[in-house]
Structure formats: structure tokens, C-alpha cells
Structure 1
Amino acid sequence: MPAGVAAGHPATAEVGLRVLHAGGSAADAAVAAVLAGCVAESVLTGITGGGFATYYDAASGEVTCLDFFCAIPGLDGNARPGPMVPIDVTFGGVTMSYSIGEASVAVPGVPAGIGEVHRRWGRLPWQRVVAPAVTLARSGVVLPAAQARTLVSIAPAMIPGVGAAIYSPGGKLLEGGDLLFHPGLDVALTALANDGPEVFYTGWIGEQLVKTVRAGGGAIGPADLAGYRVLELPVEHASLAGANVFGRRDLNNTIPTIAVLPPDLSELPAGGRAVALAEALRNHGRQRVGDTTNISVVDFAGNACVITTTLGLGSGVWLPGLGVHLNSMLGEGELITADLTPGGRMPSMMCPLVVTDERGDLVVAAGSAGASRIRTALVHTLVNVLVKDADMTAAINHPRFHVVVDPDTDAPVAHVEPGYPAAEVTALSSAGYEIRWWDRVDHYFGGASAVGRAGAAGDPRRGGVGRPA
């Protein structure tokens, strides 16, 4: 099993790779890369977001899933935040409504989550793991063209307040190749390195977060931050092409979707395989943008760590002088369910996963960004690797289709990237799917990153890269 790192930005992947070569474990490299991503991929994620981690231990074959997603505030008795700020985001030609502002900020989980990953499986000192992100924050990074296109879509959430000077200096949105720089972020990350994750919960940054959020009508209080805990989740399992896929049960049922794929998928003709895949993926029109990124790492001992994080779209609220953008998870209406109470964990579609062979040895470590398209990107990637025997770069780069149900007609619709095999699209059409061709390979279709026997690759749809160790 070759070691490697796959991530959503060249700088993020490079940080993970350097940590591996410095003697770090998969967990060390993944944590360092997550923090680097909070600098280099701030269009997609951030330190005050939430996420999930899946870890594979090569010695025992054990798989562990951790939940450090955002939590509902209100433990201080302030469960009724003020009004949020409505915004519209146009994505893929469709306008969707979101809400931002202080009242949209949920209790963050990323600092606690990466701290727990490092505590359980890290080898290098904590400060050594955080240091590369501090260096990136001081210099700034180049914004990839793919992320610049995403910025255009989500600008209404990114440029209010302090965000205007960061993402739209001089009134013009950053373009691919421009320098992305967050003044003060190095200060926040240095505090994280010196004081540990607790600084975001019971330390001075946590105090600043509460003050900032409550000044604008948000609900987060000291008890919400002090009471936050990382959860260990049950691990679900499905079989695909003789391999075993492990991950958590997500809102979009990724593992159950894989489980209902025909056991003879590899023996079906291409058109029949496409229809079987579409039938397994069919959902009821979840169409969220999702500000998400993923890190996949395999170390030299064969251990794997996959971490997916998100900021929502971003609240448009920043911690003064720290370059830290707060999450907007309470403004993601689709994630707010009736059973949520203060302190409760919000649901998510993120599903970092690992795949093993019949002996329990690692085959693939993978995850994806893309909200409702996370499942689509992961299933396509795994089918391409395990069924079609593609190398990892080809598996991730290959055009995809995403299935939804038209809310007006209840008819199944397949959104299809250009270059998808025409015969398979014809089969989808004959099976009753309305075909909606896209004019480009697009970040709408998710952002997978994976490391495995087939190599290491990131998704070009979101500027991702893979780096073998």
C-alpha cells in the first residue's frame, strides 16, 4: 500500500506530505493538512467549522469514525437567537436560499476534532503539526482557478464585512492565481499551537467568539463551548466488488447506497451498470452548495486517516483581528430538524470512508466535498476503481452524473458532465431519466480526494491534488 496524501489544494497536500516525511503518522499528516486547508482553502472550509474523521489502523484492521460536527447552541439559556440574514446563491443555474449572520453560527467542532485525532493516533508534538499552517497564514497562498469559480457562486456569503478586503480587494473578486491572505489568522493558529484546541472553547479565542456572535444576536454562550465533546460513532459496512467499504451513517446514506448496488455490477454491460448506479443514487432533490473539503492520508505503515470538514457557506462574521471566518451551519435549513435541541449534534452528508480487501488490508482511503453530491462523487470514484479497475487519477477525473428528483414533476433527473459515455447516457434516458447536460466539468459534482493501491488523486473540479509519498 503506497503512502500518500490527497487534498483540495497543492499547498494543503504538500503540508501533509512533509509531515509524513518528518516521521508523522497518517493522523499527524491529516491534522496538519486540515489546518493548512483552513488557510489555503478558506473558500471551502475553516477552523470554526465542523467535520468527521475515519481512521484505519493497519496493525489491527480496526476502523474508527469520529464526529466533530457543529452543535446547536443554547445551553446558556439563550436558545432563541435573533434573525438571520437571508441571501441567495446561484449554483449550476439554480438559485438557492441560505441565511448568514451571527444568528447562523453553530458551536464549532474542528479544533476539538483535530485535537482528538492527534491525541489518539498522532506521533509528532502538537506544535510541530500546527506549525506549517502558521507559516502559510503568514505568507498567504495562491487561489486555484477552480476555487475562484466557487468563490463567484458563494460571494454573497464571503464578502460581507471583513471578507470584502480578503476575497474582493478593491471591489474585484479574487481570480485564479491571485494571492489569498487572511490578516491575523497566523495569530489564531499560533494560539492553537501554544494553548491547544481548548483556546477555542474555554480560552481567550472562545471568549472572543461568544462576544462577537452575541453582539449580533447569535445564541452561542460559554456553556455551549465548554460542553462540546467529540463523539465516536458506529461504523457501517457495505460490500462492493469483493471489497469492504466502511464509514459512518450520513444524512445521504452513502454506505446503504453502496450496499444496494447489484453484487454482479462488474458483469453488467456499461449501460446496465449506469442505470443500476443511477437507481442506487436516486434521492429526493437535496441540492445544497456546501463549503466543504476533504483530506485523505495513508502513512508508511499503511494506516489511513480521512477527514472531511465544512464551514457551511460561511456566516460573513469574522473574529476581530484574527482572520477567522465563523460557520453558518444554523443557516443551512436542510440540516435543521425538529428533534434538535441545545447541545445536540447537527446532521451532515459528509462520509469519509476506507475500503479494505477480503483480508482486511487497506485498498482505498477516500472522502469528498459537495453536500448532496458527496455520495455521488464517492460512489462514482469507488466504482471506477473497484469495478472498472481505473487508476485513482482517472477514477476521480472521469465525468460523473448526479441523480435528483424534480420537485415539480417528481420525475428522475440525471445531471451529466460532458464526456460521460454517450451509450450509458442513452441507457439512462431509456430507463426514464431526464438528461440535463452540463457544458463543463464542474465543482457542482463534488470534490473527491483519495489515496490507495490505485494511487493518490485530488479532484480537479475544486483544485485538488494527490501526492504519493
Structure 2
Amino acid sequence: MPAGVAAGHPATTEVGLRVLAAGGSAADAAVAAMLAGCAAESVLTGLAGGGFATYFDASTGEVTCLDFFCSVPGLGSTTPAAPMVPIKISFGGVPQRYEIGASSVGVPGIPAGAGEIHRRWGRLPWQRIVAPAQNLARSGVLLPGAHARTLVSLAPAMLPGLGAAVYAPDGRLLEGGELLHHPGLDTTFGILAEEGPAAFYTGRIGAAMVSEVAAGGGVLSPLDLSSYRVMQAPVSSASFGPCRVLARADLNETIRTIAALPPLFSPLDLASALLAYGSQRLGDTTNISVVDSAGNACVITMTLGIGAGVWLPGLGVHLNSMLGEGELIRPGTLPGERMASCMCPAVVLDPAGALVMAIGSAGATRIRTAIIQTLTNVLVHGDDMTTAIRRPRFHPVSVDGSRLVHLEPGCDPSHFTGFKVQHWDRLDHYFGGVSAVGLAGAAGDPRRGGVGRTL
């Protein structure tokens, strides 16, 4: 099993590799890359977001899933939140309605999640893990072309408030290859290194969040922040040929979908199984997959929603918009309780319990589509990881009772009897963003500027 890192930005991957080379564990490298991604991949994620992690311990064979997703605020609040601000955005011509503003901000989980992963499985000092992200925040990073194309879609959420100075510093949106810099974000990482994740929950960054959200009519309170805890989620598994796929039970039921597939399935079988569960929500995420030299694996998927358009002055932090994705709040969810998510960081084990692959994807409801097709390409067709992730994908949806399948160039429409067909002219962000490391190598998804490398 090669040691390696796959992530959604070259700088994120490089940070993880350097930590591995310095003797860090898979958890050390994944957390360092996770924090680096909050500087390098801020079109997709940020420190005020949330996510999930799956960790494989090679010495025991144990798989652990951690939930550090956003919680619903409002503990102890008696003041109704001001209305959220509706916006319309489009991914690849597919329109979606979102809501942003201070009232869309959920309780963030990324700082607590980073701290908990490091506490459980890290071995390098915390300050060593945070330092690379602080350096990236200080210098800025080059914006990949794939992220620049995403920025065009997300501009209505990214440009309000201080966002215009970050993403359109000369009055126009940044383009691929230009410098992305968040003034003040290095200060935030410095506080995080010095005070630990508590700075976001009972410290000065948390106080700044409460103040900004309150000024905009939101209900995030000190009690919401101080009550936040990382949770351990049950691990689900399903057979995929002779292997097992292990992950949390997500909103789109990835593991259940895999379990429902016949032993030898066609693209039509898979499309039909994908339509049996879940919704068609878009959204924005990023993923990091790491395997260390001992065979331990850590996979982290995280998101900011699309961003609330609310920033912390002088700290370079864009707050999440998770409450603006209403279907992620299940009926009966109370303040302090977790929102739902389609994120599904996973590991694949062979019949002896040894690691075959660490894999995850961005892409909301296309996450499981991208993961299952990549698994098929590697485990059934024998692809190396780069080829498997680059292969064209399809994604089925149900529209007004009709079955429609979106096809990237190279997908054969004759496989999808009974489906209307929507042809795409390119490999696109819409079809997710896989990053994976395993026996087949390491690779990130070109659809989202991803890179994978081994030591």
C-alpha cells in the first residue's frame, strides 16, 4: 500500500505529503491538509464549515467515523431569526435556489473536528499541523482553473461583504492561475495554533462569530458554540465483490445503494439503484484522502455550504450557509442537533481486513454516484486510480416523474434504456470530485482541480 495524499488542490496535497514525510500519521497529514484546504480551497470550504471523517487503524483493523458537521443554532434564543436572503445559482446550467445571510449560519464543526482527529490519532505537535495552513494564508495560493469556473457559479454567495475584496479584488472575478488571498486569515490560524479549537467555541473567534451573526439577525449564541461536540457515528458496511466498503450512513444512503446492487451490475442497474434513494440537491464540498506508511487511512469530507456572505472582519473567515440548504434539516431537528448530509468518506477493505482504498468525494447528491463509479472502475475494471477517476461519469435524476440521465462525453447512451439523455460537452464539476489513495495509486479529480501523489 503506497503512502500518499489526494485532495482538491495541489497546495492541499503538498501540505499533506510534507507532513507524512516528516513522520506524521495519516491523521496528522489529513488534518494539516484539511486546514490548508480552508486557505487554498475557500471556494469549496472554510474554517467555519463542517464535515465528516473516516479513519482506518491498520494495527487493529478498526474503522471509526466522526461527525463534525454543522449543528442548528438557537439554544436559549427567544428572538426569531431574520429572513434569509434567497439567491439563485447554477452549476453547469442546472439552476438551484439557496438562501444566505446571517440567519443561514449554522454552528461550525471543522475546528472541533480537526482537533478531535488530531487528539485521537495524531502524533506531531498541534502547532506543527496548523503552521502550513497559516503560511498559505499569509502568502496566498494560486486559484486552479476548475475553482475559478466554480467561483463564477457561486459569485452571488461569495461576493457580498468582504468577499468582493477576496474574489474580485480588481472589480472582476479571479481567473485560473491568479492569486487567491484572504487578508487576516493568517491571524486566525495563528490564534488556532496558539489556543486550539476552543478559540472558535469559547474564545475570541467564537465571540466575533456571535457578534457578526447577531448584527445580521441570526441566532447563533455563545451557548450554541460552547455546547458543540464532535460525535462518533455508527459505521455501516456493504460488500462490493470480495471487498467491503465501510462508511457512515449518509443522507443519500451510499452504503445501502451499494448493498442493493446485484453481483454483476450494468450501468442501467446502477442508474436505477441511484434513483431509488436520495434527492437531487447540489452544493459544494471538498475531500481529502490520506494513507500513511503503516497503512492507516484518514478520509475527510468538508463543506461551507456555498457561504453565507458574512465574514469576520480582520480574520478572513467566511461563515457557512448550511441553514440555507433547508432539506438538510430533517423534520423535528431542534437547536443543538446535527443537520443531515450526503458526505460519505469511506474505506475499502479486502477479505482479510487489509486496506484496499481510502476514498471520498465532493458533490452533494452526486457524491455516491462518483464514489460507486470510481469503485467500479478500480475493483471491477482494474483501472489505476488516475484512469478510474478520469473516466466519464453519468448521473441519473428524476424530473417531474421522468427519468433523466446526465452523461459526460464518452458515456454510451445506449446503456440507459428508458431514460431521457442530457449530453454534456466536458468533464464537469457537476459530476463530483473524487480523491482516493489505495493499491491502485493516488489521484484527485480533474473536474475540481484535484491532485493525488504518493511518497
How would you bin the TM-score normalised by the shorter chain? Answer: over 0.9
What corresponds to 1:444 in structure 2? Answer: 430
What corresponds to 2:255 in structure 1? Answer: 255
The residue type paired with residue 348 of structure 1 is S
CA distance in 1, matches of 2:330, 2:350: 37
CA distance in 2, matches of 1:261, 1:8: 29
Contact 2:251–2:278 (Cα < 8 Å) also in 1: no
Contact 1:5–1:297 (Cα < 8 Å) also in 2: yes
Matched, 1:426 2:414: yes
Query: Percent identity between the aligned chains?
Result: 67
1:112 aligned counterpart, secondary structure: helix
The residue type paired with residue 117 of structure 1 is I
CA distance in 1, matches of 2:15, 2:278: 37
Q: 1:78 to 1:34 in 2, by over 3 A?
A: farther
Offset of 1:42 from its aligned partner?
0.1
Within 5 Å, give how 1:312-351 maps onto structure 2: 312-351=305-344
CA distance in 2, matches of 1:63, 1:236: 10
What corresponds to 1:268 in structure 2? Answer: none
The residue type paired with residue 415 of structure 2 is A
What corresponds to 2:354 in structure 1? Answer: 361
CA distance in 1, matches of 2:454, 2:178: 27
The residue type paired with residue 402 of structure 1 is H
Offset of 1:440 from its aligned partner?
1.2
Q: For 1:189-229, what per-residue CA distance to the aligned partner results, in whole angstroms no more than 9, with x for missing partners?
A: 11000100000000011111101101110110000000000
Matched, 1:385 2:381: no
CA distance in 2, matches of 1:24, 1:258: 33
The residue type paired with residue 278 of structure 1 is A
Q: 1:78 to 1:130 in 2, by over 3 A?
A: farther
The residue type paired with residue 232 of structure 1 is Q
What corresponds to 2:446 in structure 1? Answer: 460
The residue type paired with residue 362 of structure 1 is L
What corresponds to 2:292 in structure 1? Answer: 299
What corresponds to 2:106 in structure 1? Answer: 106
Q: For 1:78-105, what per-residue CA distance to the aligned partner results, in whole angstroms no more than 9, with x for missing partners?
A: 4631111110002221221110000000
**Higher alpha-carbon deviation: 88-97 or 174-183:** 88-97
**Higher alpha-carbon deviation: 392-401 or 283-292:** 283-292
What corresponds to 1:270 in structure 2? Answer: none
The residue type paired with residue 364 of structure 1 is M
What corresponds to 2:163 in structure 1? Answer: 163
CA distance in 2, matches of 1:35, 1:380: 28
The residue type paired with residue 247 of structure 2 is G
CA distance in 1, matches of 2:78, 2:94: 35
Unaligned residue ranges in structure 2 (runs of 5+)? none
The residue type paired with residue 461 of structure 1 is R
Q: 1:339 to 1:48 in 2, by over 3 A?
A: same
The residue type paired with residue 52 of structure 2 is F
CA distance in 2, matches of 1:111, 1:395: 32
What corresponds to 1:27 in structure 2? Answer: 27
CA distance in 2, matches of 1:264, 1:394: 21
Within 5 Å, give how 1:2-81 maps onto structure 2: 2-78=2-78, 80-81=80-81
Q: For 1:313-347, what per-residue CA distance to the aligned partner results, in whole angstroms no more than 9, with x for missing partners?
A: 00000001000000000001221222110101000
CA distance in 2, matches of 1:65, 1:319: 31
**Higher alpha-carbon deviation: 279-288 or 136-145:** 279-288
> Alignment partner for residue 407 of structure 2, among 416, 428, 435?
416
Q: For 1:28-53, what per-residue CA distance to the aligned partner results, in whole angstroms no more than 9, with x for missing partners?
A: 00000000000000000000000000
Contact 1:35–1:130 (Cα < 8 Å) also in 2: yes
Contact 1:283–1:405 (Cα < 8 Å) also in 2: no
Offset of 1:348 from its aligned partner?
0.2
Contact 2:52–2:345 (Cα < 8 Å) also in 1: yes
Q: For 1:375-398, what per-residue CA distance to the aligned partner results, in whole angstroms no more than 9, with x for missing partners?
A: 111011111111111100011010
Q: 1:205 to 1:351 in 2, by over 3 A?
A: same
Contact 1:261–1:277 (Cα < 8 Å) also in 2: yes
Contact 2:49–2:305 (Cα < 8 Å) also in 1: yes
The residue type paired with residue 61 of structure 1 is G
The residue type paired with residue 329 of structure 1 is M
What corresponds to 2:218 in structure 1? Answer: 218
CA distance in 2, matches of 1:107, 1:178: 32
Unaligned residue ranges in structure 1 (runs of 5+)? 266-272
CA distance in 2, matches of 1:465, 1:284: 30
Q: For 1:395-441, what per-residue CA distance to the aligned partner results, in whole angstroms no more than 9, with x for missing partners?
A: 101000001101x2x11111000112x2xx2021x2x0111111111
Aligned residues: 455
Within 5 Å, give how 1:82-97 maps onto structure 2: 82-97=82-97
CA distance in 2, matches of 1:164, 1:418: 35
The residue type paired with residue 419 of structure 2 is Y
CA distance in 1, matches of 2:200, 2:439: 38
Contact 2:6–2:444 (Cα < 8 Å) also in 1: yes
CA distance in 1, matches of 2:57, 2:353: 10
2:71 aligned counterpart, secondary structure: coil
CA distance in 1, matches of 2:242, 2:283: 32
CA distance in 2, matches of 1:188, 1:304: 28
Q: 1:78 to 1:92 in 2, by over 3 A?
A: farther
1:170 aligned counterpart, secondary structure: coil
CA distance in 1, matches of 2:278, 2:170: 38
1:27 aligned counterpart, secondary structure: helix
Contact 2:257–2:277 (Cα < 8 Å) also in 1: no
**What CA RMSD, in Å, does the superposition of the two structures yield over aligned residues?**
1.0
The residue type paired with residue 208 of structure 1 is A
> Alignment partner for residue 365 of structure 2, among 362, 369, 372?
372
Offset of 1:284 from its aligned partner?
6.8
CA distance in 1, matches of 2:39, 2:21: 21
What corresponds to 1:153 in structure 2? Answer: 153
The residue type paired with residue 335 of structure 1 is L
